[in-house]
Structure 1
Amino acid sequence: MTESQLRSVLPRTSPRWYTRRTQWRQLGLRDADLDKPKIAVVNSSSKLSPCFSHLDDIADRAVASITAAGGVGFEIRTVAPTDFIMSAGREGGFVLGSRDLIAHDIEAVVDGALLDGMVCLASCDKTTPGQLMAAARTDVPTLIVSCGFQSCGVMPDGAAVDIEEVFLRAGHLARGRISADELCAMSDRAITGPGVCTGMGTANTMHLAAEALGMTVPGHAPVAAGSASMHAAVERSGAVILDAVAQGRTPRRVMTPAAFRNAVRAVQAVSGSINAVKHLDAVARECGADVDVVEEFRRSADIVRPLTAVRPNGPSSIEDFVAAGGTLAVLAALEDLLDRDAPLVVGGTWRDVLPGREPDPGGAIGSRDRPRGTRATIRLLRGSLAPGHAIVKLSVTEDRPLTFRGPAQVFTSAPEALEAIAAGGVEAGSVLVLRGYGPVGTPGMGMASNVAFALDGAGLAGRVALVTDGQFSGLVNTGIVVGEVTPEGVGTAPLALVTDGDEIAVDVEAGTVDLLVPQAELAARAAAVVPPDDGGTGRGWLATFAAGYQRRYGTPTVDGSRVAP
């Protein structure tokens, strides 16, 4: 692409050229700079969480790299969502809603200013998918740069501890299985440096997925925050993005249906976060890619086995995973299951990169003939309770029963469910149904992890099943935990019609979750539903998010179909 073809280079007869020149000269740019590629460095810096606290220095380095490569870098900012902080308000609805807000933030600036490309600094859970959604939407050449995972500590007895362990053990507090002092001692040691959560949670899963999609420098993710490897990728970013601009390697050319299938198989192979399902689906929809991500996860469960067992899925650390070769080693181990002709933002295809990257025997990454587990850990269910789909996350070394049947105990708020668990009001053998936590019901999709951990803390994991339309943090759940039921429990969707005592059956191996109530009875309940009337008083971002979701997907009905708005 020549300078005259850059969309950011406006005609010098245009008033906008002169007004841009006026503003940019005050920033130190000269006339020659106005003819160069202009690249957004997308930064979600925030001092609210260690996930983002180190990004300003990285942004400066990325801008310098772009300058050195012959372009002009402009740092732009977005919202910085983090589950552990932002899930405190509105039932956690802002967590997923902020993913879409990131995409809107980026679109407004990059398209509004007619910038030529983006270097996106990926950090906590929602930044990577939000950045990828914006990349697909704007379709300007984009490079994702993983900004690394945090360092964690050890307890006096030598046991490793991280924030996810603190989160899990906090569910034991109410039953006296751990003391507040013990929890604080863990908390004091759980994070020892900036970056995203360690382990194979959502952040590291999405960094890996971005690489498998071909949107990063290969061999880059996951990476330790502040490491030489992280800084090397940042320093290379300017040359990579300017070459992508020159060659027209746009996101929709890189993120093909084959790329999404590759990413799904990589996520399954590392026993990644279940949140990758909805995130990759959202990115694929923005791409207009002819691929059903949910169905790809279902199919991949038949052919991909876990190749690694990184905390919280098993005993390996994320550092062990990186030392064994990281994402590239996983992709090389899966090579015969991948489309090796999928293009990369750096140029070429996986055929150029994967040879010689196979994991070493005995490391944290196995091979297809030496997997770490016997069954896929991300399982997609369907049935009369979830005509769309629902998700179950298993651990790598799964030994719990994979079937459950019992009467429903229905709750419409997490605090109500937590109170009942603490008071002994949730009975062993029952199915705890938590609804109203989907994208419309919360709105924004609420967090249900605390209910799952409270069941574990009460000794009810495996003795009580949990079924919800809410989302989880990406951690391994104990017992039978079914999340993100679609259609969600609003209107006349099946989940909305469940009443106390209804029999629910879950069979993870068969991939089913069913409401054992006659269809005629459900139809009668649906006929009695009175549609809610908020009088159009919804305000704020979450109301906008929910309205947009309904416009896109319609209103669910008792048989799982949707009525167009």
Structure 2
Amino acid sequence: MSDGNAGKRLRSSGSYGKLDRDGFIHRSWMKSQGLPDDVFDGRPVIGICNTWSEITPCNAGLREIAEHVKRGVWEAGGLPLEFPAISLGETQMRPTAMLFRNLLAMDVEESIRGNPIDGVVLLGGCDKTTPGQMMGAASVDLPTIVVSSGPMLNGKFRGKDIGSGTDVWKFSEAVRAGEMSLPDFMSAESGMSRSPGTCMTMGTASTMASIVEAMGMSLPYNATIPAVDARRKAMSHETGRAVVRMVLEGRTMSQVVTRASFENALRVHAAIGGSTNAVVHLLALAGRLGVELKLEDFDVLSRNVPLLVDLQPSGRFLMEDLHYAGGLPAVMKAMETFLDPTALTVTGATIGAQYENAEVWNAEVIRPLDAPVKADSGIWVLRGNLAPGGAVMKPSAASPHLLSHRGKAVVFESIEDFRARIDTPDLDVDETSILVLKGCGPKGYPGMPEVGNMPLPTKLLEKGVKDMVRISDARMSGTAFGAVILHVSPEANAGGPLAIVQNGDEIVFDGPSRALNLQISDAEMEARLAVWNANRPPPVATRGYAKLYIDHVLQADQGCDLDFLVGSSGSVVTRESH
């Protein structure tokens, strides 16, 4: 129970502490749920923002997790109040969950801002739920802690571990190459997703959960405890206690998520072989908090950080193995020379204190600095006349021989064009070609889908080709792999140079120099762009949220937030509803 003076400082006391008509309304309607009088005596009110949904399998375990958070809140003298936010199922939602990340952020921001709560616990996990919730919470800036849904158990197929997404792509390509039968492919389906939870590879969900922990926005081991492990429930219980302390100590999200915590997160991202999707999410989050973060920071800050975590898609193991090997604290301990140990966490302790006693229990899963999985890690940020606003690549997931490459473009104007022609026998393509996909950026799809890891042409797969350079304005799943260049900015539908690439154009990709160039003259580039602008395609949506998104979405190098959402609204609301 908080003391009387603390109660007067609480944001919720502006609603529940009034001895007038407005206070009567606020308290009386809440009492309809069976709450006793004394819960409105000045104790911290904790909102539990839950993206639980049966149609978001990654988050299907969060109903139970919420109950454990509530236990901790009650125990610490707070009042827990759960509320929903829209849930974005990465594997289910069309045309892409990314289209609605900003809508979730709006939902979370207005729900937190408009309701009489003093702190918030964000329950998410699936790829877009974690960044969307964090973006919305950042714009209000209350004491905030994240509890992730946790990774599912390792997949199993014929005596071997298989990984979400990563092995789907591998098996699918093997079927197309004639190396795996369709019945064998289908038999793997039931063994891949054996429990609630997120992808157990280092996909976007596990990447964002790791970043949350590296930023100090969760309790230790939030990223790696399996979703069905009892220790996740215990951690959730302790999170309920911790958020009450955070409110009473006045520690807000902006005090925890600083430039130092972003720098730590980017370096951890490199060491774990994190998803390229973290780029757009962290840029958007920084924009909400007013923290200076540039696209180049992802490359510069991680340039000397090797890949230490041997996890799919860049390595061999899965998230369950990472937890048993010591979890993220052990990873951070192994790379502590790259980190700022003084960055604050939600508990008030420093991040250094969170990992100082951690140990590595399996040096095959978490490698030492002098024996990394790969020297090349992190994110490469490419620029050139084909990507003046930048493009990104994950070198740890690519074939080494393709990290510098020159080839002729095989161009697909849309995802439909790609699917119609990629397997045609007369497609003019060989293993030296570069596949180019347009119309899949933020405005063009809309929503920037995970289609950048284009399947290779069947006729090349049958010859044993396993990787090719691919370029697009799309994203790719964090579980995917290959020599894939993504997030080309400006996108084709915004009139970027990608829009005017033609079949047979030569493209030069120089990874070590971070260069991506179309081999045509400036005059030819200008002439083609003039023709394109004179025949600019109409928007792909004309009503509803999709139109709002297309009209206001920023490009990938700025995080794909909506332009009017950058920054904060704050937590003060002065007008009553009655």
Task: Give the TM-score normalised by the residue count of structure 1.
Answer: 0.91
Q: In the alignment, what sits opposite 1:371?
A: 372
Q: Is 1:337 matched with 2:344?
A: no
Q: In the alignment, what sits opposite 2:140?
A: 138
Contact 1:388 1:486 in 2 (8 A): yes
Q: In the alignment, what sits opposite 2:472?
A: 468
Q: In the alignment, what sits opposite 1:20?
A: 26
Q: AA paired with 2:486?
A: G
Q: AA paired with 1:84?
A: T
Q: In the alignment, what sits opposite 1:61?
A: 68
SS at structure 2 position matched to 1:244: helix
Q: Choose the corresponding residue for 1:152, options 154, 158, 165.
A: 154
SS at structure 2 position matched to 1:389: strand
Where do 1:255-294 residues align within 5 Å? 255-292=257-294, 294=295
Q: In the alignment, what sits opposite 2:513?
A: 510
Looking at both structures, which has the greater relative contact order when contacts are Cα pairs under 8 Å and sequence separation is at least 6? 2
> After superposition, what is the alpha-carbon deviation per residue over 1:87-113, rounded to whole angstroms, capped at 9, x for unaligned?
xx33x3xx1122222211111211111
Contact 1:175 1:422 in 2 (8 A): no
Q: AA paired with 1:59?
A: A
SS at structure 2 position matched to 1:364: coil
Residues 477/453 of structure 1: CA separation in 2 closer, same or farther (3 Å cut): farther
Q: AA paired with 1:447?
A: E
Deviation at 1:377, TM superposition (A): 4.6
Q: AA paired with 2:78?
A: G
Deviation at 1:224, TM superposition (A): 0.3
Contact 2:452 2:472 in 1 (8 A): no
For structure 1, the 5+ residue unaligned runs are: 557-565
Deviation at 1:63, TM superposition (A): 1.9
Contact 1:146 1:230 in 2 (8 A): no
SS at structure 1 position matched to 2:179: coil
Q: In the alignment, what sits opposite 1:33?
A: 39
- 431-440 or 97-106: which moved more? 97-106
Contact 1:38 1:73 in 2 (8 A): yes
Deviation at 1:488, TM superposition (A): 0.9
SS at structure 1 position matched to 2:304: coil
Deviation at 1:459, TM superposition (A): 5.5
Residues 524/366 of structure 1: CA separation in 2 closer, same or farther (3 Å cut): same
Deviation at 1:553, TM superposition (A): 8.9
Q: Is 1:543 matched with 2:547?
A: yes
> After superposition, what is the alpha-carbon deviation per residue over 1:318-371, rounded to whole angstroms, capped at 9, x for unaligned?
222112211111111222211111111111212323322243573411222222
Where do 1:472-483 residues align within 5 Å? 472-478=476-482, 480-483=483-486
Q: Is 1:384 matched with 2:388?
A: no
SS at structure 2 position matched to 1:73: strand
Q: In the alignment, what sits opposite 2:404?
A: 403
SS at structure 2 position matched to 1:448: coil
Q: AA paired with 1:113?
A: N
Q: In the alignment, what sits opposite 1:302?
A: 303
SS at structure 1 position matched to 2:553: helix
Q: Is 1:70 matched with 2:94?
A: no
- The whole-number CA distance in structure 1 between the counterparts of 2:232 and 2:132 is 21
- 34-43 or 245-254: which moved more? 34-43
Residues 113/363 of structure 1: CA separation in 2 closer, same or farther (3 Å cut): same
- The whole-number CA distance in structure 1 between the counterparts of 2:362 and 2:164 is 30
Deviation at 1:299, TM superposition (A): 0.8
Q: Is 1:427 matched with 2:433?
A: no
Q: Is 1:181 matched with 2:183?
A: yes
Deviation at 1:403, TM superposition (A): 1.5
Residues 488/410 of structure 1: CA separation in 2 closer, same or farther (3 Å cut): same
Residues 453/120 of structure 1: CA separation in 2 closer, same or farther (3 Å cut): farther
Residues 505/151 of structure 1: CA separation in 2 closer, same or farther (3 Å cut): same
Q: AA paired with 2:91?
A: F
Deviation at 1:181, TM superposition (A): 1.0
Deviation at 1:544, TM superposition (A): 1.7
- The whole-number CA distance in structure 2 between the counterparts of 1:271 and 1:13 is 55
- The whole-number CA distance in structure 2 between the counterparts of 1:243 and 1:411 is 55
Q: Choose the corresponding residue for 2:211, options 209, 212, 215.
A: 209
SS at structure 2 position matched to 1:319: helix
Residues 78/36 of structure 1: CA separation in 2 closer, same or farther (3 Å cut): same
> After superposition, what is the alpha-carbon deviation per residue over 1:410-431, rounded to whole angstroms, capped at 9, x for unaligned?
2122232123221131501222
Contact 1:146 1:223 in 2 (8 A): no
- The whole-number CA distance in structure 2 between the counterparts of 1:533 and 1:550 is 19
Q: In the alignment, what sits opposite 2:444?
A: 441
Q: AA paired with 1:438?
A: G
Q: In the alignment, what sits opposite 1:561?
A: none
- The whole-number CA distance in structure 2 between the counterparts of 1:259 and 1:553 is 20
Contact 2:489 2:555 in 1 (8 A): no
Q: AA paired with 1:100?
A: N
Contact 2:509 2:515 in 1 (8 A): yes
Q: In the alignment, what sits opposite 1:525?
A: 528
Q: Is 1:81 matched with 2:88?
A: yes
- The whole-number CA distance in structure 1 between the counterparts of 2:155 and 2:200 is 11
Where do 1:475-494 residues align within 5 Å? 475-478=479-482, 480-494=483-497
Deviation at 1:407, TM superposition (A): 1.9
Q: AA paired with 2:404?
A: T
Contact 1:271 1:376 in 2 (8 A): yes
Q: In the alignment, what sits opposite 1:559?
A: none
Contact 1:199 1:318 in 2 (8 A): yes
- The whole-number CA distance in structure 2 between the counterparts of 1:327 and 1:362 is 13
- The whole-number CA distance in structure 1 between the counterparts of 2:35 and 2:246 is 23
Deviation at 1:453, TM superposition (A): 5.8
- 137-146 or 331-340: which moved more? 331-340
SS at structure 1 position matched to 2:436: strand
- The whole-number CA distance in structure 2 between the counterparts of 1:213 and 1:432 is 37
Deviation at 1:527, TM superposition (A): 2.1
SS at structure 2 position matched to 1:2: helix
Contact 2:541 2:547 in 1 (8 A): no
RMSD: 2.5
Contact 2:68 2:234 in 1 (8 A): no
Contact 1:301 1:376 in 2 (8 A): yes
Q: AA paired with 2:354?
A: V
- The whole-number CA distance in structure 2 between the counterparts of 1:162 and 1:491 is 36
Q: In the alignment, what sits opposite 1:52?
A: 59
Deviation at 1:462, TM superposition (A): 6.1
Residues 192/66 of structure 1: CA separation in 2 closer, same or farther (3 Å cut): same
SS at structure 1 position matched to 2:188: helix
Q: In the alignment, what sits opposite 1:362?
A: 363
- The whole-number CA distance in structure 1 between the counterparts of 2:456 and 2:74 is 48
**Aligned pairs, number:** 547
Q: AA paired with 2:442?
A: P
Q: AA paired with 2:274?
A: G
Deviation at 1:313, TM superposition (A): 1.7
Residues 463/27 of structure 1: CA separation in 2 closer, same or farther (3 Å cut): closer
Contact 1:497 1:525 in 2 (8 A): yes
> After superposition, what is the alpha-carbon deviation per residue over 1:513-565, rounded to whole angstroms, capped at 9, x for unaligned?
111111111111222222647599711222222222159999x9xxxxxxxxx
Q: In the alignment, what sits opposite 1:4?
A: 8
Contact 1:452 1:481 in 2 (8 A): no
Q: In the alignment, what sits opposite 1:563?
A: none
Residues 27/301 of structure 1: CA separation in 2 closer, same or farther (3 Å cut): same
Identity of paired residues, percent? 32
SS at structure 1 position matched to 2:264: helix
Residues 302/447 of structure 1: CA separation in 2 closer, same or farther (3 Å cut): closer
